[in-house]
Structure 1
Amino acid sequence: MPVRLLAPIIFSLAAAVPAAWEEKEPPAQEYEYGADASQKLDLWRGRGKSAPVILYIHGGGWSQGDKEHDALQKAAHYGQMGYAFASMNYRLVPQATVEQQVADVASAIAWLRAQSRPLGINKGRIILMGHSAGAHLAALVATDPVYLKNAGLSMKAIAGVVLLDGAAYHVPSQLGVGNADMQRLRSIAFGGDVARQMRLSPVSHAARPNAGPFLLLHVNNPSTIAQSRGLAALLRKAGTKVTIDMIPNSDHMRLNRHLGDEGDRATELVDQFLATAVP
């Protein structure tokens, strides 16, 4: 399986990475988890031969973004805690459908489990983490069992889920929110078929079975508050363990970009969640 070292670290990001981590840890390696050119992930190894692993799904309105964006700081922080960290690419709209994107997440989980021994990770301790559209994809694969089943897995393949200011947990109510560019991106991703929109809404699948537990973090924005609270309420109704919290004095991008910073409230909450989800 092809492997390459990542390109040199962007200087603006490198300044934020703890020097001790840089000196002790090898750079990430890129792996292919599928045949498509977009089906690749970067993996930073954890400690020991059976480390828990976080699989990070980037945002970008389902049509843009890259696995290298905002990944290094997270990899450094969780690497210091002993976790392996994987950041994945997936096929993008409009060349691919949202359904195919969720299938890519399931395929990446299946690949990590299949390669767990040579990668030094514990296949029973995989945490999904997604931001924005990536949080939607994480929530959908963790609530609708079809995608993991098609990859030969059950909901037990996901040990926990971290959703960072997610979008479109209930797709129809999200389509008209935000500026014209965001509305256009959502329209391209989800189309005008309300039945399909609801199939792609995690709230439609929040009844059992679900992966779990879930941590939902959001900023002080009416839309993301409503989306997060709505999903959390349905998950709890189904008996799924849920923690939800608002991050004050933040915004949609800041919440994600500062994850891993010392003293950051969102980082503290994620660290506490991980300590109980994958002890």
Structure 2
Amino acid sequence: MTTSTSAVCPPAQGQASSSTAHTVVPISSVSELSRITEAARGNEITGLSIFNRTLDDISGARVEDLVLQMCADQPIGGTDMVYGTKPTQRLRFWDAESTKAEPARAPLILFVHGGSWKSGTYLDSTGSAKVGHLTGKGYAFATVNYTLIPDVTVEEQVQEVADSLAYLVTNAARLGFDSTRLVLMGHSSGAHVATLLGTDLSYLERAGVNVDSIRGVIALDGSNYNAMAEIMDSPGPVADSTILGLGRDRERLMAMSPTYHARAPNAGAFLLLQAQRQGDIRQAVELSAALDAAGTDAALHVFEGQSFEGHMQMLLRIGDASYPATSVMDNWLAIHVPVL
């Protein structure tokens, strides 16, 4: 079974803030248990091994368990803010907890949640570990809510995220971060949005945000870097989600593909962190090559965790010091967007 993070979370009222507070669904087989253990370990895979064939099958019970974990693992604290006129246009902001200099020099990381553009919110699809980890290192952090398809197009959704960033930049002095040192981070379809914002500058231009202030883009197991290829690379529910969100028109699919916009100028640097999903690894290699050709720094790392299991573990575990992708992210940030 192949799937995507499009399941809807239960109502948030009374929901626990820890990923341990959920109903445990039985594992269906020893092989599934082995894949769960491997994905949680998440060791980095290097060389041509990143292209090894992987299993896309996962039981419905395990999908349910992972979605419940994601829904329950909501970050705590922070301050809610409204950046637009729609009820969906809100974000949550966390101050940097420690900096080596004045708090106003803290970089800001804006997180864009996934859910195939059609589900999730800024709280139930974020994963709490990354918030405390990054604010503790001296980064301000925000997570953005946006209107879902079909109420808007994906293009309108991307613009909403750009507008949320413009709101934060406008209020940077009040909030206490450096508006010239911004990082976009996203997971799944949120990684698609983040990388598109970092390559197709029209959204930022309409929002009034200078691309030079986007020092980095961190994509967590993204997809649709080449949307036409996604339909071939990931047959089944993932491809169906691409068609639902972006249609079948060739020109539109190209316009919504970060790889086709990767010629300079781009955001300052890109970090692509992928789980073992073969089609999306291929697309990440293609995107990193296009960025490199444009003179934009691009780093690609692949980690254990097959298909949806690895996809969700990366969302939930990055920020945990024992998860290898966390140190890769930390080292990259220290180089490209350090806390001064």
Q: Alignment length, in residue pairs?
A: 264
Higher relative contact order (CA 8 A, sep 6+): 2
Distance of 1:52 and 1:41 partners within structure 2: 17
| C-alpha contact 1:50 1:117 (8 A) present in aligned 2 | no
| Matching residue within 92, 104, 108 for 1:53 | 108
Alignment of 1:82-231 (within 5 A): 82-178=138-234, 180-231=236-287
1:277 match: 336
1:43 match: 93
Distance of 2:317 and 2:249 partners within structure 1: 37
Which amino acid in the other structure matches residue 89 of structure 2? Answer: Q
| Matching residue within 10, 16, 31 for 1:10 | 16
Q: CA deviation at 1:108?
A: 1.4
Distance of 1:11 and 1:204 partners within structure 2: 39
Q: Structure 1-normalised TM-score?
A: 0.89
Distance of 1:67 and 1:12 partners within structure 2: 16
- Partner SS for 1:43: strand
Q: CA deviation at 1:167?
A: 0.5
Which amino acid in the other structure matches residue 50 of structure 1? Answer: R
2:58 match: none
Q: CA deviation at 1:14?
A: 8.0
Distance of 1:116 and 1:8 partners within structure 2: 32
Question: What are the superposed Cα offsets for residues 142-178 of structure 1, whole Å, 9 maximum, x if unpaired?
Answer: 0011111111122113111101111100001102444
| C-alpha contact 2:128 2:316 (8 A) present in aligned 1 | no
Question: What are the superposed Cα offsets for residues 224-258 of structure 1, whole Å, 9 maximum, x if unpaired?
Answer: 11110010000000000111111124611111110
Distance of 1:179 and 1:65 partners within structure 2: 22
1:74 match: 130
Q: CA deviation at 1:188?
A: 1.2
| C-alpha contact 2:96 2:139 (8 A) present in aligned 1 | yes
Q: RMSD over aligned Cα, in angstroms?
A: 1.9
Q: CA deviation at 1:186?
A: 1.5
| C-alpha contact 2:114 2:187 (8 A) present in aligned 1 | yes
2:77 match: 27
Question: What are the superposed Cα offsets for residues 56-111 of structure 1, whole Å, 9 maximum, x if unpaired?
Answer: 00110011111112342211111111111101111111111111111112111111
1:254 match: 313
| C-alpha contact 1:71 1:87 (8 A) present in aligned 2 | no
- Partner SS for 1:134: helix
Distance of 1:157 and 1:7 partners within structure 2: 37
Q: CA deviation at 1:180?
A: 3.3
1:268 match: 327
- Partner SS for 2:18: helix
Distance of 1:255 and 1:121 partners within structure 2: 27
Q: CA deviation at 1:9?
A: 7.1
Which amino acid in the other structure matches residue 108 of structure 2? Answer: V
State yes or no: 1:244 paired with 2:320: no
| C-alpha contact 1:57 1:130 (8 A) present in aligned 2 | yes
| C-alpha contact 2:90 2:145 (8 A) present in aligned 1 | yes
1:233 match: 289
Distance of 1:46 and 1:13 partners within structure 2: 23
Q: If you compute each CA radius of gyration, which structure gives the higher value, 1 or 2?
A: 2
Which amino acid in the other structure matches residue 276 of structure 2? Answer: N
Question: Which region of structure 1 is more displaced relative to structure 2, 72-81 or 43-52?
Answer: 43-52
- Partner SS for 2:192: helix
Which amino acid in the other structure matches residue 18 of structure 2? Answer: S
Question: What are the superposed Cα offsets for residues 24-80 of structure 1, whole Å, 9 maximum, x if unpaired?
Answer: xx9211111111111111111114233211100011001111111234221111111
